[in-house]
Structure 1
């Protein structure tokens, strides 16, 4: 038999140069750096890829649709739907990049969809909850407790994310606003403060004094305040105040959104304030708490009380 015909599939596979996971990671993460993605986003990709390979012990570049289906099936035994979807989003970005630049021939994610998840109720804090928290915090009468009171006011006034708050520097604080630079989508934005927050922030900055770090919020040793420390402290304040809901920076963000929607803010303005990339997220809030707007309209409608 001669050698005039086409190569067999096995022979073609021998000739074809295949990319390894390490090579794929190199080009993918280089692209991430060139796109100036946040370090946290890049770290997220790395963690998710590593975790995925623990479930299916096989190079990611060799995964097929069946591997992803098995990955989802196995992951459901120990992960929540939201966590599985988070991992699938990372894998989708990875495979889309490899397909786009022809590092792989087939995209195993092409027929894989995110898992459907039940829409959970978004918890927010009531006026009474907020008042109880402030009371508990003010009992301490220390630098740390006053700092935490100011942090809580900034959260409730602006709806900033935890990562955004710890990134605020002294120079970012203006007269009645703060420039948020460490944003999720890399677009700086300005958030505005109420008179109460402005006044308390002014007092905090005076007490803070001059220290080595440029960060606005510092720890008791005059060093940079870490996100985990803030989360831990507010969890404890919530327990001390006997609040059954989760007390966290994200709860404050949801609470701020709800209060502004009830007050009548439009979706586009709220989107800008919260720094959402997709208005669909903001509209979800509006739809969720829209009944509150109806109630407020009945209570405070412009024609209420008129004898027409």
Structure 2
């Protein structure tokens, strides 16, 4: 047999120097740092890559489309669609970067699409549930209890994320508004407070006093507050109040969005207040709470009050 033909795919692999996983991660994370991505985003990439390698049982830079398809098929037996899509988004960013910068000859994610997932109803709290929650928190009569009440009011008033709340410093509170600096998209924004929240926040700051940290919300030892402890405490309040729904920062965020939509806020203003990067998530909120929008239409519809006479 002669050697006049082209080299086989396997033979080409021997000749062409390929980047290994360690080198690929180094250049990818360097780019993440240069783009000033949040530490949490970089940690997300690291965790997802580690999980993918474990399931693929081979280096990521050696994977082909069929390997990723096999990963999806096997993952569907073990984890939720949302979790699979989260992993696929991380892999897409990784492979797109490597292919764009000519570290890979082909992009194995090119024809891989996210899995379709059924849109689930987002739980929100009703008036009675919010009142019951506040009543449960107030039973404590402690600094931590009062702090948690104020945290609840800030969440419901502003719809900020847990990471954003943790990042608030005392100087960021300005009368009827708060400057949110530690945002997901790195763009500072302003959120506004009702009179009730303003009054309670002023009382909290007075009780808080001067401590060693500038963070607004502190723990009982006067140190920075751990975000996990907030989730744990509100889960505890939910149980004590006998509320069947989930109770936490995301529930408060969704509750704020729903109440403002029902009150008549426009989608663009809501998008700005919530810190969404585009309108897609905001539109989803509007669609999810369609029945409430329907009632608003019945009340304020453009044809309401007009009298028509048949010709």
Give the TM-score, by structure 1 length: 0.95
Q: Distance in 1 between matches of 2:285 and 2:9?
A: 54
- SS state at 1:17 partner: coil
Q: Distance in 2 between matches of 1:112 and 1:300?
A: 45
Structure 2: 5+ residue stretches without partners? none
Q: Distance in 2 between matches of 1:239 and 1:88?
A: 35
Q: What CA deviation, in whole Å up to 9, does each residue of 1:131-176 have, x standing for no partner?
A: 0000000011100000000000000000000010001011111111
Alignment check: 8 A CA contact 1:263 1:293 kept: no
Q: CA deviation at 1:298?
A: 3.9
Q: Distance in 1 between matches of 2:303 and 2:131?
A: 32
Q: Distance in 1 between matches of 2:159 and 2:258?
A: 10
Q: What CA deviation, in whole Å up to 9, does each residue of 1:193-240 have, x standing for no partner?
A: 000000000000000000001100000000000110000000110111
Length, aligned pairs only: 308
Q: Would you say 1:98 and 2:98 are equivalent positions?
A: yes
Q: Would you say 1:229 and 2:229 are equivalent positions?
A: yes
Q: CA deviation at 1:2?
A: 9.3
Q: CA deviation at 1:15?
A: 2.2
- SS state at 1:179 partner: strand
Q: CA deviation at 1:12?
A: 3.3
Q: CA deviation at 1:291?
A: 2.7
After TM superposition, the structure 1 = structure 2 runs for residues 158-173 of structure 1, keeping only pairs within 5 Å, are 158-173=158-173
Q: Are residues 109 and 246 of structure 1, via their aligned partners in 2, closer, same or farther at CA, if it must alter by over 3 Å?
A: same
Partner of 2:283: 283
Q: Would you say 1:157 and 2:151 are equivalent positions?
A: no
Partner of 1:136: 136
After TM superposition, the structure 1 = structure 2 runs for residues 231-246 of structure 1, keeping only pairs within 5 Å, are 231-246=231-246
Q: CA deviation at 1:73?
A: 1.2
Q: Distance in 2 between matches of 1:241 and 1:45?
A: 37
Q: Distance in 2 between matches of 1:274 and 1:166?
A: 16
Q: Distance in 2 between matches of 1:2 and 1:297?
A: 79
Q: Are residues 90 and 293 of structure 1, via their aligned partners in 2, closer, same or farther at CA, if it must alter by over 3 Å?
A: same
Q: Are residues 303 and 100 of structure 1, via their aligned partners in 2, closer, same or farther at CA, if it must alter by over 3 Å?
A: closer
Alignment check: 8 A CA contact 1:231 1:248 kept: yes
Partner of 1:186: 186
- SS state at 1:121 partner: coil
Partner of 2:63: 63
- SS state at 2:51 partner: helix
Q: CA deviation at 1:24?
A: 0.2
Partner of 2:176: 176
Q: Distance in 2 between matches of 1:95 and 1:141?
A: 54
Alignment check: 8 A CA contact 1:261 1:290 kept: no
Q: Distance in 2 between matches of 1:107 and 1:191?
A: 42
Q: CA deviation at 1:293?
A: 3.0
Partner of 2:17: 17
- SS state at 2:289 partner: helix
Q: CA deviation at 1:289?
A: 1.6
The RMSD of aligned alpha carbons is: 2.2
Q: Distance in 2 between matches of 1:294 and 1:73?
A: 40
Structure 1: 5+ residue stretches without partners? none
Alignment check: 8 A CA contact 1:262 1:290 kept: no
Q: Distance in 2 between matches of 1:124 and 1:52?
A: 34
Q: CA deviation at 1:3?
A: 8.3
Partner of 2:260: 260
Q: Distance in 1 between matches of 2:67 and 2:111?
A: 12
Of 103-112 and 23-32, more deviation after overlay is shown by 103-112
